[in-house]
Amino acid sequence: MKLAKGFLAAVAAISVMALSCASGGGGGGGAPKEEAPVVPVYSWNFDDSGAGTAGWVAAEGEFWDYKGTVAVSRDDSTLGKAMLKVDLDYSKDSSSEWSEPKIKFTFGTPLDLSTVTRFNFDFYYNPGFSQRGSFKSKVVVMEGGKEKTTGEAESLKFEDAGNGWMKAKVSLRIRKVSGKMEAVVLGIPGYRTNYKGPVFFDNIYWD
């Protein structure tokens, strides 16, 4: 009988300890740690009307399997805020699985790459400007006049941005490299699309 009582007492003690650990978050204790805010290494702001496209231009001569034109401008009204506008035309390349117009930014002073691992931006398009197809994304780091490293996204996840526009938050990872970035080339690959119209970029930054 004494043995049985001792066994029951041990079970009870273990149960109390288990309940205590469960209520305290498994022994970890406290609220979950907040992630540190992302600090951009370099970003582009289109709020300054005098800055125009903030240095972004069409990368003429660097397109891939793309026969249309590219016009880069700054737009203040279409989506209710200042953004980078890129007018595109994939209508002659609608059978291509990777038709890539590109835009480019050249740094006045090469950017230190030692802490850079991601290129981020918001991308907007309007399905009303096409009958089929989709978009991909690519970024290229230029160093010494050559491609140093790249990052790609085969598919983008879109959400409704209102007034017929769709928005994707894109984050492209690159291999961490040491060196100086002289320019960044942003590709806008179309996948079997006949899209003809503007797309928009906002919140562009390296981190």
Q: Secondary structure of 126-174 in the HEC alphabet?
A: CHHHCCCCEECEEEEEEECCEEEEEEEECCCCEEEEECCEEEEEEEEEC
Residue 85 lies in a domain: yes
Q: Judge contact between 130 and 124, C-beta under 8 A.
A: no
d(CA 174, CA 178): 12
The arithmetic mean of pLDDT across residues 142-146, rounded, is: 88
Confidence of residue 23 (pLDDT cuts 50, 70, 90): very low
- Is 160 within the bounds of a domain? yes
The pLDDT, as a whole number, for residue 104 is 98
Q: Please give the pLDDT value at position 37.
A: 61
**Distance, CA of 122 to chain centre:** 6
Q: CATH number of the domain that 143 lies in?
A: 2.60.120.260
Instruction: Answer whether residue 14 is part of any domain.
Output: no
Flag whether 180 is in a domain.
yes
pLDDT exceeds cutoff 80 at 185: yes
As a whole number, mean pLDDT of residues 37-66 equals 90
- 7 lies in some domain: no
Distances (CA, A) of 52 to 69, 185, 199: 20, 18, 16
How many domains are contained in the chain?
A: 1
Q: Is residue 189 part of a domain?
A: yes
Sheet strands (E) in the chain: 42-44, 57-58, 71-75, 83-89, 102-112, 118-125, 134-135, 137-143, 146-153, 158-162, 165-173, 180-187, 190-191, 196-206
Residue 27 pLDDT > 80: no
Is residue 35, in this structure, part of any structural domain at all? no
Is 89 inside a domain boundary?
yes
Per the model's pLDDT, the better-predicted residue between 164 and 38 turns out to be 164
Which domain covers residue 170, as residue numbers? 42-206
CA dist., res. 81 & res. 23, Å (int)? 47
